[in-house]
Structures are given as structure tokens and as C-alpha cells.
């Protein structure tokens, strides 16, 4: 796979995963080819074989590659801390704006304008540092926001859809069907059953 600047090497990631090192939580995600699921380094589930794992710098990158978030370690609850986070780099500024909803209503072209760069340059920066396009990151962040609201609140599905930035219940349902293969309401029920809690 392509090298991502924000990410530790395969060996560093692998060692961190094998010891479930919390210092690496949010700095990379582990995708498991045999299950199609991606996890945080601290996932309490049984460790996959090293030959079956691929590492990604962000949840958005793992999702862009076709992996689903683990329902056990809940990647949406990981701290957001790639190497460039907190810096004043263009990528960090773009991610912050996207997280604040810049692409929920507006286009990538206007986001690039706000950052003072071309949308082509923005796309290149994202490919190199985030491992996903700005739109893919926006989608991941919306679903993550919605997932956290599902787990933490008793709001209706419509309220969550709008609060998370989907703009319509239909798009909210479609995003969950695509990513989790399930409806948002079924995920809410799952989280409340004993034995599927996120902490070990
Ligand atoms: Zn997991």
C-alpha cells in the first residue's frame, strides 16, 4: 500500500497492536482482511494473524478501502490524533473544517477556496496524509457523529440524522446500510445488549 506520512511503520503498528498499546489509539487503525472489519489498536477481541492485517492512518482510509467499523472497540470513540493533528498544516485545518461540517452542505471546491489552495492540491494532500478523499472523510465523520449520538442519547432517528449533518433521514439510513450493512436503529439496540459493550 501507499506510504502515509501521518502513520507509523507497519512494524511499529504491529507491535503496538499486539500489546494493545493505548498510546497508539487514534494514530492508526487495523483492518483485518479475513473479516472485513477494522479496529482500534486497543480492541479487546482476539488478535488477528499479522499476515491478515493492513494498517490505515485514519478510520476514513479503512472505510475507503471497504472495511467496516468494529462494533466492539467502536472506532468512532477513538481519539482523533494522527501525526498532523494539532499542527497548523493545511491538512489539519481542512480536517478541522470538515469536522465542523464544511462538507455537509458545501462543496470541496469552496472548502479549497477557504484554505487558499486548489481542489486538486487538496485532493493530493488528503491522499498522502489521510488516505481518503475529503468527501470520504466527511462521510466517516458524519457516521461517527451519528453513531456516538445513537449510543449516548435517546433522540429519535430523525433528530440524530440532522444533528449529525446528514440533511435527510434517507441519507442517514443509506450511509449506515452502506457502512454497517444494518439500519441505525438496529445498531442502537445492539449496543444495549449485555456482552457487546465496548470496554474489555
Ligand atoms: Zn475491534
pLDDT digits (tens, 9 = 90+) for 8-33: 899 999 999 999 999 999 999 999 99
pLDDT of residue 82: 76
Q: How confident is the model at residue 88 (pLDDT cuts 50, 70, 90)?
A: confident
Same domain, 51 and 94: no
**Within a domain: residue 143?**
yes
**Within a domain: residue 29?**
yes
pLDDT of residue 147: 96
Residue 131 φ/ψ, nearest 5 degrees: 80, 15
Range of the domain at 45: 10-77
30 Cα to the center of ligand 1, angstroms = 9
**Within a domain: residue 116?**
yes
Task: Give the helix/strand (H/E) hosting 170.
Answer: helix 169-180
Q: What is the pLDDT of residues 151-188, one digit of tens each?
A: 988 899 999 999 999 999 999 999 999 999 999 999 98
74 Cα to the center of ligand 1, angstroms = 6
C-alpha cell at 171: 441519507
**Within a domain: residue 200?**
no
Same domain, 153 and 100: no
3 Cα to the center of ligand 1, angstroms = 23
Count Cβ neighbours within 10 Å for each residue of 154-175 and write b for 16 or more, e otherwise. eeebeebbbebbbeebeebbeb
pLDDT of residue 196: 46
**Within a domain: residue 82?**
no
**Within a domain: residue 2?**
no
pLDDT at residue 6 greater than cutoff 90: no
pLDDT at residue 99 greater than cutoff 70: yes
Query: What mean pLDDT comes out for the span 95-119?
Result: 93
Number of structural domains (the chain) is 3
Amino acid at each position: 500500500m501507499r506510504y502515509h506520512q501521518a502513520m507509523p511503520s507497519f512494524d511499529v503498528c504491529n507491535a503496538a497492536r499486539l500489546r494493545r498499546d493505548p498510546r497508539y489509539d487514534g494514530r492508526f487503525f487495523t483492518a483485518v482482511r479475513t473479516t472485513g472489519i477494522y479496529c482500534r489498536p486497543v480492541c479487546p477481541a482476539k488478535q488477528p494473524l499479522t499476515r491478515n492485517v493492513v494498517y490505515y492512518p485514519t478510520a476514513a482510509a479503512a472505510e475507503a478501502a471497504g472495511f467496516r467499523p468494529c462494533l466492539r472497540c467502536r472506532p468512532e470513540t477513538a481519539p482523533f490524533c494522527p501525526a498532523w493533528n494539532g499542527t497548523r498544516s493545511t491538512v489539519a485545518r481542512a480536517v478541522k473544517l470538515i469536522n465542523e461540517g464544511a462538507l455537509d452542505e458545501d462543496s470541496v471546491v469552496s472548502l479549497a477556496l477557504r484554505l487558499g489552495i486548489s481542489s486538486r492540491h487538496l485532493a493530493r494532500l488528503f491522499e498522502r496524509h489521510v488516505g481518503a478523499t475529503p468527501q470520504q472523510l466527511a462521510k466517516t465523520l458524519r457516521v461517527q457523529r451519528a453513531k456516538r449520538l445513537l449510543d449516548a442519547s435517546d433522540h429519535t432517528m430523525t433528530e440524530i440524522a440532522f444533528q449529525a449533518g446528514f440533511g435527510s433521514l434517507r441519507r442517514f439510513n443509506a450511509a449506515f446500510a452502506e457502512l454497517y450493512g444494518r439500519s441505525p436503529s438496529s445498531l442502537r439496540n445492539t449496543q444495549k445488549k449485555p456482552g457487546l459493550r465496548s470496554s474489555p
